[in-house]
Amino acid sequence: MEPFYEYSKPLRGRALFEIVLEQLGLVVSSAGIREQKARLAAEIIRKARKFRWVGIYDVLESEIAVVGWTGELPAFPRFPRTEGLSGEAVRTGAVVVANDIRHDSRYLTTFGTTQSEVIIPVCNSRSQVVGTVDVESDRLNAFEEQDVRFLKQCASALEPLFARS
């Protein structure tokens, strides 16, 4: 599977939401291997806003485990569901933004060059956190409210990827 659109510059506003949500909908509803779909979805999200790294994680009974990612495999592909910024997002069901990870004791190192990270919970129809979207940047204060809104829309579109039988 290849991304349907290439972006020459970061898209903004309605055009971004419409194109990316359409792409994510097509990816998650397509036939294929779940991990490949998650990697493609992560790449679509990354390219849309020129993020440095995007990971999509499963929230399991006792751990959080990466399903799809862009670029390098993270330092901790699996970790206890109570740890890190992801653990906080799972515990609270809320978005966690750390625009300067040096000052956030919850940060679990993914890459040595990360300066900012945002975790978006993916919830099912019963409002249970079943996954997360993890976005990392090598810039301080990288994430603004418009990024969070965009990523929350993406997380909602990804919910079918987490449907369990």
pLDDT digits (tens, 9 = 90+) for 63-89: 999 999 999 999 999 999 999 999 999
Q: Which pLDDT score, from 0 to 100, does residue 132 have?
A: 98
pLDDT surpasses 70 at 13: no
The answer as to whether 2 is a domain residue is no
CATH code, domain with 38: 3.30.450.40
The answer as to whether 1 is a domain residue is no
pLDDT surpasses 60 at 139: yes
The answer as to whether 4 is a domain residue is no
Per the structure, the count of domains in the chain is 1
Element (H, E) at 117: strand 116-123
Residue found by looking up tokens 């919850």 in the block: 106
Return d(Cα 132, Cα 55) in angstroms, integer: 8
18: confidence class by pLDDT, cuts 50, 70, 90 = confident
The answer as to whether 124 is a domain residue is yes
For 126, list phi and psi in degrees, rounded to 5. Answer: -100, 15
Q: List the strands of the sheet with 78-80, edge to edge.
A: 78-80, 63-69, 53-59, 129-137, 116-123, 96-98
Query: What does the DSSP assignment read for 45-91?
Result: HHHHHT-SEEEEEEE-SSEEEEEEESSSPPS-SEEETTSHHHHHHHH
Could you tell me the pTM of the whole model? Answer: 0.91
Question: What domain range is 139 assigned to?
Answer: 13-162
